[in-house]
Structure 1
Amino acid sequence: MSAALPAFADRLIDRFRKRRTWRDRFPRLNEALEASSRFGHAANGFVYVSVGILMLASAIGMRGEAVDPHGVLYVLAQQPFGRLWLILIGAGLWAFVGWRVLQAVFDIDHEGSDLKGWAVRAAQATSGLAYAVLASGVFELLDEVRTNMGAEQLAENQEKAAILLGLPFGGAALMVIGLIIAGVGIGNIVMGFVNDFAATLVCSKAVCRWVLPLARVGYVARGLAYLPLALFVTLAGYRASSDRVETFGTALEALERQPGGAIMLGMTAVGLIAFGAYAFVEARFRRIRVPKDLEAG
Protein backbone atom coordinates (compact mmCIF):
# COMPACT_ATOMS: atom_id res chain seq x y z
CA MET A 1 0.00 0.00 0.00
CA SER A 2 2.76 2.44 0.93
CA ALA A 3 4.50 1.80 -2.42
CA ALA A 4 1.26 2.36 -4.33
CA LEU A 5 0.68 5.83 -2.87
CA PRO A 6 3.87 7.43 -4.35
CA ALA A 7 3.06 5.87 -7.73
CA PHE A 8 -0.46 7.27 -7.59
CA ALA A 9 0.90 10.67 -6.55
CA ASP A 10 3.37 10.61 -9.44
CA ARG A 11 0.59 9.86 -11.92
CA LEU A 12 -1.57 12.65 -10.48
CA ILE A 13 1.26 15.18 -10.68
CA ASP A 14 2.11 14.08 -14.23
CA ARG A 15 -1.51 14.44 -15.28
CA PHE A 16 -1.67 17.91 -13.74
CA ARG A 17 1.44 18.94 -15.64
CA LYS A 18 -0.08 17.74 -18.90
CA ARG A 19 -3.29 19.72 -18.43
CA ARG A 20 -4.09 21.94 -21.36
CA THR A 21 -2.79 25.47 -21.18
CA TRP A 22 -5.09 28.45 -21.69
CA ARG A 23 -4.05 28.53 -25.35
CA ASP A 24 -5.18 24.94 -25.83
CA ARG A 25 -8.64 25.77 -24.55
CA PHE A 26 -9.28 27.65 -27.78
CA PRO A 27 -9.65 26.05 -31.24
CA ARG A 28 -6.54 25.77 -33.36
CA LEU A 29 -6.11 28.71 -35.73
CA ASN A 30 -6.87 26.66 -38.83
CA GLU A 31 -10.04 25.30 -37.22
CA ALA A 32 -11.15 28.79 -36.19
CA LEU A 33 -10.50 30.17 -39.67
CA GLU A 34 -12.46 27.35 -41.26
CA ALA A 35 -15.40 27.86 -38.91
CA SER A 36 -15.31 31.61 -39.52
CA SER A 37 -15.25 31.11 -43.30
CA ARG A 38 -18.22 28.77 -43.19
CA PHE A 39 -20.12 31.24 -41.01
CA GLY A 40 -19.31 33.95 -43.55
CA HIS A 41 -20.70 31.89 -46.43
CA ALA A 42 -23.87 31.24 -44.44
CA ALA A 43 -24.33 34.96 -43.72
CA ASN A 44 -23.80 35.75 -47.41
CA GLY A 45 -26.40 33.15 -48.31
CA PHE A 46 -28.90 34.59 -45.85
CA VAL A 47 -28.51 38.09 -47.29
CA TYR A 48 -28.99 36.98 -50.90
CA VAL A 49 -31.91 34.67 -50.14
CA SER A 50 -33.56 37.58 -48.30
CA VAL A 51 -32.89 39.96 -51.20
CA GLY A 52 -34.31 37.45 -53.66
CA ILE A 53 -37.46 36.85 -51.61
CA LEU A 54 -38.17 40.59 -51.20
CA MET A 55 -37.40 41.20 -54.87
CA LEU A 56 -39.77 38.41 -55.86
CA ALA A 57 -42.46 39.91 -53.63
CA SER A 58 -41.96 43.21 -55.45
CA ALA A 59 -42.16 41.54 -58.86
CA ILE A 60 -45.54 39.91 -58.06
CA GLY A 61 -46.94 43.07 -56.46
CA MET A 62 -46.80 42.06 -52.79
CA ARG A 63 -44.53 44.99 -51.84
CA GLY A 64 -43.79 48.34 -53.35
CA GLU A 65 -40.12 48.34 -54.28
CA ALA A 66 -37.19 46.09 -55.01
CA VAL A 67 -34.29 46.04 -52.58
CA ASP A 68 -30.57 45.52 -52.78
CA PRO A 69 -28.33 43.96 -50.09
CA HIS A 70 -28.21 47.31 -48.29
CA GLY A 71 -31.98 47.65 -48.41
CA VAL A 72 -32.64 44.18 -47.06
CA LEU A 73 -30.65 45.10 -43.95
CA TYR A 74 -33.08 47.92 -43.25
CA VAL A 75 -36.04 45.55 -43.68
CA LEU A 76 -34.47 43.05 -41.27
CA ALA A 77 -33.78 45.83 -38.76
CA GLN A 78 -37.54 46.49 -38.57
CA GLN A 79 -38.32 42.89 -37.61
CA PRO A 80 -38.52 41.47 -34.06
CA PHE A 81 -35.02 41.05 -32.64
CA GLY A 82 -33.81 43.29 -35.47
CA ARG A 83 -30.63 44.37 -33.65
CA LEU A 84 -29.71 40.74 -32.99
CA TRP A 85 -30.24 39.95 -36.69
CA LEU A 86 -27.97 42.82 -37.66
CA ILE A 87 -25.22 41.82 -35.22
CA LEU A 88 -25.21 38.23 -36.48
CA ILE A 89 -25.29 39.26 -40.15
CA GLY A 90 -22.64 41.92 -39.63
CA ALA A 91 -20.32 39.47 -37.89
CA GLY A 92 -20.95 36.92 -40.64
CA LEU A 93 -20.21 39.40 -43.41
CA TRP A 94 -16.95 40.43 -41.74
CA ALA A 95 -16.12 36.73 -41.54
CA PHE A 96 -16.76 36.53 -45.28
CA VAL A 97 -14.42 39.50 -45.79
CA GLY A 98 -11.78 37.47 -43.92
CA TRP A 99 -12.43 34.58 -46.31
CA ARG A 100 -11.81 36.88 -49.26
CA VAL A 101 -8.55 38.00 -47.66
CA LEU A 102 -7.46 34.37 -47.37
CA GLN A 103 -8.29 33.87 -51.05
CA ALA A 104 -6.72 37.06 -52.41
CA VAL A 105 -3.65 37.37 -50.16
CA PHE A 106 -2.82 33.77 -49.20
CA ASP A 107 -4.16 32.13 -52.39
CA ILE A 108 -5.90 29.32 -50.50
CA ASP A 109 -7.66 28.27 -53.73
CA HIS A 110 -4.29 27.81 -55.46
CA GLU A 111 -5.07 30.17 -58.33
CA GLY A 112 -1.37 30.72 -58.89
CA SER A 113 0.75 33.75 -59.70
CA ASP A 114 0.34 33.85 -63.46
CA LEU A 115 -1.77 36.51 -65.18
CA LYS A 116 -5.00 34.53 -64.85
CA GLY A 117 -4.32 33.74 -61.20
CA TRP A 118 -3.65 37.37 -60.32
CA ALA A 119 -6.80 38.43 -62.17
CA VAL A 120 -8.89 36.00 -60.12
CA ARG A 121 -7.28 37.10 -56.88
CA ALA A 122 -7.79 40.77 -57.78
CA ALA A 123 -11.48 40.03 -58.33
CA GLN A 124 -11.59 38.30 -54.93
CA ALA A 125 -9.97 41.32 -53.30
CA THR A 126 -12.47 43.66 -54.97
CA SER A 127 -15.31 41.46 -53.75
CA GLY A 128 -13.84 41.62 -50.26
CA LEU A 129 -13.85 45.41 -50.35
CA ALA A 130 -17.49 45.44 -51.46
CA TYR A 131 -18.47 43.10 -48.64
CA ALA A 132 -16.49 45.23 -46.17
CA VAL A 133 -18.59 48.25 -47.18
CA LEU A 134 -21.76 46.20 -46.75
CA ALA A 135 -20.62 44.86 -43.37
CA SER A 136 -19.76 48.38 -42.20
CA GLY A 137 -23.26 49.49 -43.17
CA VAL A 138 -24.74 46.78 -40.95
CA PHE A 139 -23.18 48.23 -37.83
CA GLU A 140 -24.06 51.78 -38.84
CA LEU A 141 -27.69 50.65 -38.78
CA LEU A 142 -27.29 49.64 -35.14
CA ASP A 143 -26.80 53.30 -34.23
CA GLU A 144 -29.74 54.67 -36.17
CA VAL A 145 -32.33 53.04 -38.42
CA ARG A 146 -33.75 55.65 -40.78
CA THR A 147 -37.07 55.45 -42.54
CA ASN A 148 -35.77 56.98 -45.76
CA MET A 149 -32.65 54.90 -46.24
CA GLY A 150 -33.27 54.29 -49.92
CA ALA A 151 -33.65 58.00 -50.65
CA GLU A 152 -30.58 58.84 -48.56
CA GLN A 153 -28.46 56.22 -50.31
CA LEU A 154 -29.57 57.56 -53.70
CA ALA A 155 -28.78 61.13 -52.61
CA GLU A 156 -25.36 60.09 -51.33
CA ASN A 157 -24.55 58.30 -54.59
CA GLN A 158 -25.61 61.32 -56.62
CA GLU A 159 -23.60 63.65 -54.38
CA LYS A 160 -20.49 61.52 -54.82
CA ALA A 161 -21.09 61.43 -58.58
CA ALA A 162 -21.45 65.24 -58.64
CA ILE A 163 -18.11 65.61 -56.84
CA LEU A 164 -16.47 63.21 -59.28
CA LEU A 165 -17.98 65.00 -62.27
CA GLY A 166 -16.54 68.28 -60.97
CA LEU A 167 -13.02 66.93 -61.31
CA PRO A 168 -11.00 66.99 -64.54
CA PHE A 169 -12.10 64.07 -66.70
CA GLY A 170 -14.78 63.33 -64.07
CA GLY A 171 -17.25 62.16 -66.69
CA ALA A 172 -14.74 59.71 -68.11
CA ALA A 173 -13.94 58.45 -64.61
CA LEU A 174 -17.64 57.85 -63.92
CA MET A 175 -17.93 55.99 -67.22
CA VAL A 176 -14.98 53.81 -66.18
CA ILE A 177 -16.75 53.02 -62.88
CA GLY A 178 -19.86 52.06 -64.83
CA LEU A 179 -17.82 49.82 -67.11
CA ILE A 180 -16.16 48.21 -64.08
CA ILE A 181 -19.60 47.43 -62.63
CA ALA A 182 -20.58 45.98 -66.01
CA GLY A 183 -17.38 43.94 -66.01
CA VAL A 184 -18.25 42.52 -62.59
CA GLY A 185 -21.69 41.58 -63.89
CA ILE A 186 -20.36 39.99 -67.07
CA GLY A 187 -17.70 38.19 -65.04
CA ASN A 188 -20.38 36.62 -62.86
CA ILE A 189 -22.32 35.54 -65.95
CA VAL A 190 -19.23 33.95 -67.48
CA MET A 191 -18.43 32.19 -64.21
CA GLY A 192 -21.95 30.80 -64.13
CA PHE A 193 -21.38 29.10 -67.49
CA VAL A 194 -17.73 28.01 -67.33
CA ASN A 195 -16.65 27.68 -63.71
CA ASP A 196 -16.02 24.19 -62.30
CA PHE A 197 -17.92 24.63 -59.04
CA ALA A 198 -17.64 20.93 -58.19
CA ALA A 199 -13.86 21.32 -57.80
CA THR A 200 -14.33 23.57 -54.77
CA LEU A 201 -16.79 21.28 -52.96
CA VAL A 202 -16.20 18.21 -50.84
CA CYS A 203 -19.41 16.28 -51.36
CA SER A 204 -20.72 13.16 -53.05
CA LYS A 205 -21.50 13.10 -56.77
CA ALA A 206 -25.21 12.85 -55.96
CA VAL A 207 -25.11 16.03 -53.86
CA CYS A 208 -22.96 17.89 -56.40
CA ARG A 209 -25.35 16.92 -59.18
CA TRP A 210 -28.27 18.82 -57.67
CA VAL A 211 -26.38 21.77 -56.12
CA LEU A 212 -24.32 22.78 -59.16
CA PRO A 213 -27.35 24.15 -61.07
CA LEU A 214 -27.92 26.48 -58.11
CA ALA A 215 -24.45 27.91 -58.61
CA ARG A 216 -24.83 28.38 -62.36
CA VAL A 217 -28.27 29.98 -62.17
CA GLY A 218 -27.25 32.08 -59.17
CA TYR A 219 -24.08 33.53 -60.70
CA VAL A 220 -25.79 34.33 -63.98
CA ALA A 221 -28.68 36.05 -62.17
CA ARG A 222 -26.35 38.08 -59.96
CA GLY A 223 -24.37 39.14 -63.01
CA LEU A 224 -27.51 40.24 -64.84
CA ALA A 225 -28.64 42.21 -61.76
CA TYR A 226 -25.49 44.38 -61.97
CA LEU A 227 -26.08 45.44 -65.57
CA PRO A 228 -28.92 48.00 -65.07
CA LEU A 229 -26.84 49.86 -62.46
CA ALA A 230 -23.81 49.75 -64.77
CA LEU A 231 -25.91 51.25 -67.55
CA PHE A 232 -27.14 54.15 -65.39
CA VAL A 233 -23.67 54.98 -64.07
CA THR A 234 -22.09 54.83 -67.54
CA LEU A 235 -24.81 57.04 -69.03
CA ALA A 236 -24.36 59.49 -66.15
CA GLY A 237 -20.68 59.79 -66.99
CA TYR A 238 -21.38 60.08 -70.73
CA ARG A 239 -23.98 62.82 -70.23
CA ALA A 240 -22.16 64.37 -67.24
CA SER A 241 -25.30 64.25 -65.12
CA SER A 242 -25.18 63.01 -61.51
CA ASP A 243 -29.00 62.85 -61.46
CA ARG A 244 -28.81 59.69 -63.55
CA VAL A 245 -26.79 57.79 -60.94
CA GLU A 246 -28.93 55.19 -59.18
CA THR A 247 -28.56 52.62 -56.44
CA PHE A 248 -28.65 48.89 -57.06
CA GLY A 249 -32.24 48.75 -55.82
CA THR A 250 -33.53 51.75 -57.78
CA ALA A 251 -31.86 50.45 -60.92
CA LEU A 252 -33.83 47.23 -60.52
CA GLU A 253 -37.00 49.28 -59.96
CA ALA A 254 -36.32 51.03 -63.27
CA LEU A 255 -35.97 47.61 -64.89
CA GLU A 256 -39.32 46.60 -63.40
CA ARG A 257 -41.04 49.57 -65.06
CA GLN A 258 -40.00 48.45 -68.53
CA PRO A 259 -42.24 46.23 -70.70
CA GLY A 260 -41.92 42.73 -69.30
CA GLY A 261 -39.86 44.16 -66.44
CA ALA A 262 -41.81 42.39 -63.71
CA ILE A 263 -41.08 39.05 -65.35
CA MET A 264 -37.38 39.86 -65.70
CA LEU A 265 -37.27 41.08 -62.09
CA GLY A 266 -38.98 37.89 -60.93
CA MET A 267 -36.53 35.70 -62.82
CA THR A 268 -33.64 37.68 -61.36
CA ALA A 269 -35.12 37.23 -57.89
CA VAL A 270 -35.34 33.46 -58.31
CA GLY A 271 -31.74 33.46 -59.49
CA LEU A 272 -30.56 35.43 -56.46
CA ILE A 273 -32.39 33.00 -54.19
CA ALA A 274 -30.49 30.22 -55.98
CA PHE A 275 -27.23 32.14 -55.44
CA GLY A 276 -27.99 32.45 -51.74
CA ALA A 277 -28.93 28.78 -51.51
CA TYR A 278 -25.60 27.83 -53.11
CA ALA A 279 -23.80 29.98 -50.51
CA PHE A 280 -25.41 27.78 -47.85
CA VAL A 281 -24.09 24.75 -49.75
CA GLU A 282 -20.61 26.30 -49.67
CA ALA A 283 -20.98 26.89 -45.94
CA ARG A 284 -21.35 23.14 -45.54
CA PHE A 285 -19.25 21.61 -48.33
CA ARG A 286 -16.70 24.27 -49.42
CA ARG A 287 -13.10 23.03 -49.40
CA ILE A 288 -11.25 25.30 -46.96
CA ARG A 289 -7.46 25.16 -47.26
CA VAL A 290 -5.77 27.16 -44.54
CA PRO A 291 -2.20 28.30 -45.45
CA LYS A 292 0.49 26.23 -43.74
CA ASP A 293 2.23 29.32 -42.39
CA LEU A 294 -0.95 30.19 -40.51
CA GLU A 295 -1.18 26.66 -39.10
CA ALA A 296 2.31 26.77 -37.68
CA GLY A 297 2.65 26.93 -33.89
Structure 2
Amino acid sequence: MSSTTSHVKYHASRAADSKPLELLARAGFIGYGVIHLLFAWIALQVAFGGSGKESDQSGALQEMAAHSYGEVLLVAIAVGLFAMALWQAFEAAIGESGDQDRTAIAERVVSGVRAVLYGYLGFMAIKVVQGAKASMGDNSESKSAGLMDATGGRWLVGLAGLVVLGVGIGMAVYGLRKKFTRHLTGAPQTVIRLGQAGYSAKGLAYAISGVLFVSAAVTYDPDKARGLDAALKTLAGHPWGVWVLALIAIGIAAFGVYCLAQSRYRKI
Protein backbone atom coordinates (compact mmCIF):
# COMPACT_ATOMS: atom_id res chain seq x y z
CA MET A 1 0.00 0.00 0.00
CA SER A 2 1.44 3.42 -0.97
CA SER A 3 2.05 6.14 1.61
CA THR A 4 -0.60 8.30 -0.10
CA THR A 5 -3.21 5.54 0.19
CA SER A 6 -2.27 4.96 3.83
CA HIS A 7 -2.56 8.70 4.51
CA VAL A 8 -6.02 8.86 2.92
CA LYS A 9 -7.19 5.77 4.84
CA TYR A 10 -5.89 7.23 8.09
CA HIS A 11 -7.85 10.46 7.70
CA ALA A 12 -10.94 8.59 6.45
CA SER A 13 -10.77 6.35 9.52
CA ARG A 14 -10.54 9.34 11.84
CA ALA A 15 -13.49 11.01 10.12
CA ALA A 16 -15.53 7.79 10.34
CA ASP A 17 -14.90 7.69 14.10
CA SER A 18 -16.23 11.23 14.54
CA LYS A 19 -18.73 11.42 17.41
CA PRO A 20 -20.94 14.06 15.72
CA LEU A 21 -21.11 11.87 12.60
CA GLU A 22 -22.09 8.88 14.74
CA LEU A 23 -24.88 10.82 16.47
CA LEU A 24 -26.21 12.15 13.16
CA ALA A 25 -26.09 8.66 11.61
CA ARG A 26 -28.00 7.22 14.58
CA ALA A 27 -30.58 9.98 14.15
CA GLY A 28 -30.67 9.04 10.47
CA PHE A 29 -31.77 5.51 11.37
CA ILE A 30 -34.73 7.02 13.20
CA GLY A 31 -35.68 9.01 10.11
CA TYR A 32 -35.17 5.96 7.89
CA GLY A 33 -37.46 4.00 10.20
CA VAL A 34 -40.16 6.68 10.04
CA ILE A 35 -39.98 6.62 6.22
CA HIS A 36 -40.58 2.86 6.21
CA LEU A 37 -43.44 3.08 8.69
CA LEU A 38 -45.17 5.60 6.43
CA PHE A 39 -44.28 3.42 3.42
CA ALA A 40 -46.00 0.47 5.15
CA TRP A 41 -49.09 2.58 5.86
CA ILE A 42 -49.34 3.60 2.19
CA ALA A 43 -48.92 -0.05 1.14
CA LEU A 44 -51.85 -1.01 3.37
CA GLN A 45 -53.94 1.78 1.84
CA VAL A 46 -53.06 0.48 -1.63
CA ALA A 47 -54.04 -3.04 -0.57
CA PHE A 48 -57.43 -2.25 0.93
CA GLY A 49 -58.36 1.23 -0.21
CA GLY A 50 -57.07 1.41 -3.77
CA SER A 51 -54.90 4.44 -2.94
CA GLY A 52 -53.25 6.18 -5.88
CA LYS A 53 -50.30 7.38 -3.78
CA GLU A 54 -46.76 6.45 -4.68
CA SER A 55 -46.22 3.14 -2.90
CA ASP A 56 -42.50 3.48 -2.26
CA GLN A 57 -40.14 5.58 -0.14
CA SER A 58 -40.80 8.72 -2.20
CA GLY A 59 -44.52 8.33 -1.47
CA ALA A 60 -43.68 8.26 2.24
CA LEU A 61 -41.73 11.51 1.86
CA GLN A 62 -44.68 13.14 0.05
CA GLU A 63 -47.04 11.91 2.77
CA MET A 64 -44.82 13.51 5.40
CA ALA A 65 -44.72 16.82 3.53
CA ALA A 66 -48.54 17.00 3.59
CA HIS A 67 -48.52 17.73 7.34
CA SER A 68 -47.79 21.05 9.03
CA TYR A 69 -44.64 19.72 10.67
CA GLY A 70 -43.59 17.89 7.49
CA GLU A 71 -40.99 20.25 6.05
CA VAL A 72 -39.05 20.58 9.30
CA LEU A 73 -39.12 16.81 9.78
CA LEU A 74 -38.03 16.22 6.18
CA VAL A 75 -35.03 18.54 6.56
CA ALA A 76 -34.02 16.75 9.77
CA ILE A 77 -34.40 13.37 8.08
CA ALA A 78 -32.39 14.56 5.06
CA VAL A 79 -29.51 15.63 7.34
CA GLY A 80 -29.59 12.21 9.02
CA LEU A 81 -29.67 10.41 5.68
CA PHE A 82 -26.72 12.41 4.35
CA ALA A 83 -24.81 11.55 7.54
CA MET A 84 -25.64 7.87 7.00
CA ALA A 85 -24.48 8.15 3.37
CA LEU A 86 -21.17 9.71 4.47
CA TRP A 87 -20.66 7.06 7.16
CA GLN A 88 -21.32 4.24 4.69
CA ALA A 89 -19.01 5.87 2.16
CA PHE A 90 -16.24 5.75 4.77
CA GLU A 91 -17.08 2.09 5.47
CA ALA A 92 -16.85 1.37 1.74
CA ALA A 93 -13.45 3.08 1.59
CA ILE A 94 -11.80 1.58 4.68
CA GLY A 95 -14.02 -1.32 5.78
CA GLU A 96 -15.24 -2.01 9.30
CA SER A 97 -12.11 -3.78 10.48
CA GLY A 98 -9.61 -3.33 7.70
CA ASP A 99 -9.83 -7.03 6.69
CA GLN A 100 -9.36 -7.93 3.04
CA ASP A 101 -11.09 -11.32 2.89
CA ARG A 102 -13.99 -11.90 0.51
CA THR A 103 -16.65 -11.27 3.13
CA ALA A 104 -15.08 -7.94 4.11
CA ILE A 105 -14.77 -6.86 0.48
CA ALA A 106 -18.41 -7.79 -0.19
CA GLU A 107 -19.48 -5.76 2.86
CA ARG A 108 -17.57 -2.77 1.52
CA VAL A 109 -19.37 -3.05 -1.82
CA VAL A 110 -22.72 -3.21 0.00
CA SER A 111 -21.69 -0.17 2.06
CA GLY A 112 -21.06 1.70 -1.17
CA VAL A 113 -24.53 0.80 -2.44
CA ARG A 114 -26.07 1.91 0.86
CA ALA A 115 -24.19 5.22 0.65
CA VAL A 116 -25.78 5.88 -2.76
CA LEU A 117 -29.24 4.84 -1.50
CA TYR A 118 -29.13 7.00 1.63
CA GLY A 119 -27.76 9.95 -0.32
CA TYR A 120 -30.47 9.57 -2.98
CA LEU A 121 -33.24 9.45 -0.38
CA GLY A 122 -31.80 12.53 1.32
CA PHE A 123 -31.78 14.30 -2.06
CA MET A 124 -35.41 13.24 -2.64
CA ALA A 125 -36.38 14.61 0.78
CA ILE A 126 -34.85 17.99 -0.09
CA LYS A 127 -36.66 18.02 -3.45
CA VAL A 128 -39.98 17.39 -1.67
CA VAL A 129 -39.27 20.27 0.74
CA GLN A 130 -38.62 22.51 -2.27
CA GLY A 131 -42.04 21.61 -3.64
CA ALA A 132 -40.92 19.31 -6.45
CA LYS A 133 -42.90 16.16 -7.23
CA ALA A 134 -40.16 13.70 -6.32
CA SER A 135 -41.29 10.31 -7.57
CA MET A 136 -38.99 7.30 -7.68
CA GLY A 137 -41.59 5.46 -9.78
CA ASP A 138 -41.89 8.22 -12.40
CA ASN A 139 -38.13 8.55 -12.56
CA SER A 140 -37.67 4.81 -13.07
CA GLU A 141 -40.44 4.64 -15.70
CA SER A 142 -39.06 7.64 -17.60
CA LYS A 143 -35.51 6.30 -17.71
CA SER A 144 -36.72 2.84 -18.72
CA ALA A 145 -38.84 4.29 -21.53
CA GLY A 146 -35.89 6.30 -22.85
CA LEU A 147 -33.62 3.28 -22.60
CA MET A 148 -36.07 1.04 -24.47
CA ASP A 149 -36.06 3.44 -27.40
CA ALA A 150 -32.29 3.03 -27.77
CA THR A 151 -30.66 0.17 -29.65
CA GLY A 152 -30.35 -2.79 -27.30
CA GLY A 153 -32.12 -0.80 -24.58
CA ARG A 154 -34.73 -3.47 -23.89
CA TRP A 155 -31.94 -5.94 -23.15
CA LEU A 156 -30.46 -3.48 -20.66
CA VAL A 157 -33.83 -2.97 -18.95
CA GLY A 158 -34.26 -6.74 -18.78
CA LEU A 159 -30.75 -7.09 -17.34
CA ALA A 160 -31.55 -4.40 -14.76
CA GLY A 161 -34.65 -6.41 -13.85
CA LEU A 162 -32.55 -9.54 -13.29
CA VAL A 163 -30.18 -7.53 -11.07
CA VAL A 164 -33.10 -6.17 -9.02
CA LEU A 165 -34.52 -9.70 -8.78
CA GLY A 166 -31.14 -10.91 -7.50
CA VAL A 167 -31.00 -8.06 -4.99
CA GLY A 168 -34.46 -8.99 -3.72
CA ILE A 169 -33.53 -12.65 -3.29
CA GLY A 170 -30.25 -11.66 -1.66
CA MET A 171 -32.02 -9.30 0.73
CA ALA A 172 -34.48 -12.01 1.79
CA VAL A 173 -31.65 -14.51 2.36
CA TYR A 174 -29.71 -11.83 4.24
CA GLY A 175 -32.67 -11.44 6.59
CA LEU A 176 -33.66 -15.08 6.99
CA ARG A 177 -30.07 -16.13 7.76
CA LYS A 178 -29.71 -13.24 10.25
CA LYS A 179 -26.58 -11.95 8.56
CA PHE A 180 -27.48 -8.42 9.64
CA THR A 181 -26.78 -9.34 13.27
CA ARG A 182 -23.02 -9.00 12.67
CA HIS A 183 -23.61 -5.24 12.62
CA LEU A 184 -25.52 -5.18 15.93
CA THR A 185 -24.32 -5.07 19.52
CA GLY A 186 -26.46 -6.36 22.34
CA ALA A 187 -29.70 -6.44 20.34
CA PRO A 188 -32.51 -8.48 21.97
CA GLN A 189 -34.19 -11.35 20.13
CA THR A 190 -37.25 -9.19 19.40
CA VAL A 191 -35.13 -6.76 17.37
CA ILE A 192 -33.54 -9.63 15.45
CA ARG A 193 -36.95 -11.06 14.55
CA LEU A 194 -38.09 -7.63 13.37
CA GLY A 195 -35.01 -7.50 11.15
CA GLN A 196 -35.74 -10.95 9.73
CA ALA A 197 -39.33 -10.03 8.91
CA GLY A 198 -38.34 -6.65 7.50
CA TYR A 199 -35.54 -7.80 5.21
CA SER A 200 -37.66 -10.74 3.98
CA ALA A 201 -40.62 -8.46 3.14
CA LYS A 202 -38.45 -5.91 1.36
CA GLY A 203 -36.66 -8.71 -0.49
CA LEU A 204 -39.97 -10.10 -1.77
CA ALA A 205 -41.10 -6.63 -2.91
CA TYR A 206 -37.82 -6.04 -4.77
CA ALA A 207 -37.97 -9.51 -6.34
CA ILE A 208 -41.45 -8.79 -7.72
CA SER A 209 -40.20 -5.41 -8.94
CA GLY A 210 -37.36 -7.16 -10.76
CA VAL A 211 -39.74 -9.59 -12.46
CA LEU A 212 -41.86 -6.64 -13.62
CA PHE A 213 -38.76 -4.93 -15.08
CA VAL A 214 -38.06 -8.06 -17.12
CA SER A 215 -41.71 -8.17 -18.18
CA ALA A 216 -41.53 -4.48 -19.15
CA ALA A 217 -38.58 -5.23 -21.43
CA VAL A 218 -40.28 -8.25 -23.02
CA THR A 219 -43.65 -6.52 -23.59
CA TYR A 220 -42.22 -3.03 -24.26
CA ASP A 221 -44.33 -1.56 -21.44
CA PRO A 222 -42.46 1.08 -19.37
CA ASP A 223 -45.45 1.34 -17.00
CA LYS A 224 -44.28 -1.90 -15.40
CA ALA A 225 -40.81 -0.48 -14.78
CA ARG A 226 -41.82 1.71 -11.84
CA GLY A 227 -39.91 -0.18 -9.18
CA LEU A 228 -41.63 -0.87 -5.87
CA ASP A 229 -44.66 1.24 -6.80
CA ALA A 230 -45.47 -1.03 -9.75
CA ALA A 231 -44.73 -4.20 -7.75
CA LEU A 232 -47.11 -3.35 -4.91
CA LYS A 233 -49.88 -2.01 -7.12
CA THR A 234 -49.65 -5.10 -9.33
CA LEU A 235 -50.21 -7.25 -6.25
CA ALA A 236 -53.18 -5.08 -5.25
CA GLY A 237 -54.80 -5.85 -8.60
CA HIS A 238 -55.26 -9.54 -7.73
CA PRO A 239 -57.59 -10.97 -5.07
CA TRP A 240 -54.82 -13.14 -3.62
CA GLY A 241 -52.28 -10.37 -4.11
CA VAL A 242 -54.07 -8.08 -1.65
CA TRP A 243 -53.20 -10.41 1.21
CA VAL A 244 -49.63 -10.86 0.02
CA LEU A 245 -49.36 -7.05 -0.15
CA ALA A 246 -50.78 -6.78 3.36
CA LEU A 247 -48.10 -9.20 4.63
CA ILE A 248 -45.41 -7.21 2.82
CA ALA A 249 -46.75 -4.00 4.40
CA ILE A 250 -46.56 -5.58 7.85
CA GLY A 251 -43.01 -6.71 7.08
CA ILE A 252 -42.03 -3.21 5.93
CA ALA A 253 -43.50 -1.81 9.15
CA ALA A 254 -41.38 -4.36 11.05
CA PHE A 255 -38.35 -3.09 9.13
CA GLY A 256 -39.26 0.46 10.14
CA VAL A 257 -39.32 -0.50 13.81
CA TYR A 258 -36.06 -2.42 13.31
CA CYS A 259 -34.46 0.76 11.92
CA LEU A 260 -35.57 2.65 15.01
CA ALA A 261 -33.88 -0.03 17.12
CA GLN A 262 -30.74 0.23 14.97
CA SER A 263 -30.29 3.79 16.19
CA ARG A 264 -29.30 2.18 19.49
CA TYR A 265 -27.82 -1.21 18.62
CA ARG A 266 -26.04 -0.58 15.27
CA LYS A 267 -22.24 -0.61 15.31
CA ILE A 268 -21.06 2.77 14.03
Q: Same fold (TM over 0.5)?
A: yes
- Of 78, 82, 88, the residue aligned with 1:100 is 88
Which residue number in structure 2 is paired with residue 212 of structure 1? 192
Per-residue CA deviations over 1:180-211 (Å, capped at 9, x if unaligned) read 111111111011111344443222xxx51221
| 1:168 aligns to 2:151 (yes or no) | yes
Which residue number in structure 1 is paired with residue 8 of structure 2? none
CA contact (8 A) 1:58 1:66 kept: no
- Of 278, 281, 291, the residue aligned with 2:261 is 281
Match of 2:239, SS state, is coil
- Of 50, 75, 100, the residue aligned with 2:38 is 50
Match of 1:52, SS state, is helix
Aligned length: 253
- Of 225, 230, 245, the residue aligned with 1:250 is 230
Which residue number in structure 1 is paired with residue 3 of structure 2? none
- Of 82, 98, 101, the residue aligned with 1:114 is 101
- Of 28, 37, 40, the residue aligned with 1:40 is 28
In 1: Cα distance, 2:155 partner to 2:99 partner:
33
CA contact (8 A) 2:31 2:77 kept: yes
Per-residue CA deviations over 1:145-170 (Å, capped at 9, x if unaligned) read 54xx66xx544433311221233321
Counterpart AA for 1:242: P
Counterpart AA for 1:93: L
Which residue number in structure 2 is paired with residue 187 of structure 1? 170
Shift of residue 94, structure 1, vs aligned partner: 1.1
- Of 206, 211, 214, the residue aligned with 1:234 is 214
Name the stretch that deviates more: 178-187 or 156-165: 156-165
Q: Percent identity?
A: 26
CA contact (8 A) 2:46 2:236 kept: no
Counterpart AA for 2:257: A
Matches within 5 A, 1:13-92: 30-61=18-49, 63=51, 65=53, 67-92=55-80
In 2: Cα distance, 1:67 partner to 1:280 partner:
21
Shift of residue 64, structure 1, vs aligned partner: 5.1
Counterpart AA for 1:226: Y
Query: CA 1:155 to 1:56, structure 2 compared with 1: closer, same or farther past 3 Å?
Result: closer
CA contact (8 A) 2:24 2:79 kept: no
Any stretches of 5+ residues in structure 1 without a counterpart? 1-27, 289-297
CA contact (8 A) 1:177 1:233 kept: yes
The alignment yields a C-alpha RMSD, in angstroms, of 2.3
Match of 1:55, SS state, is helix
Greater CA radius of gyration, 1 or 2? 1
Shift of residue 120, structure 1, vs aligned partner: 2.6
Shift of residue 245, structure 1, vs aligned partner: 2.0
Q: How does the TM-score come out when normalised to structure 2?
A: 0.85
Runs of 4+ in 1 over 4 A off after TM superposition: 62-66
CA contact (8 A) 2:53 2:59 kept: no
Which residue number in structure 2 is paired with residue 132 of structure 1? 119
Query: CA 1:50 to 1:154, structure 2 compared with 1: closer, same or farther past 3 Å?
Result: closer
Match of 2:159, SS state, is helix
Shift of residue 243, structure 1, vs aligned partner: 4.0
CA contact (8 A) 1:44 1:96 kept: no
Counterpart AA for 1:178: G
Query: CA 1:264 to 1:66, structure 2 compared with 1: closer, same or farther past 3 Å?
Result: farther
CA contact (8 A) 1:111 1:120 kept: no
Query: CA 1:136 to 1:266, structure 2 compared with 1: closer, same or farther past 3 Å?
Result: same
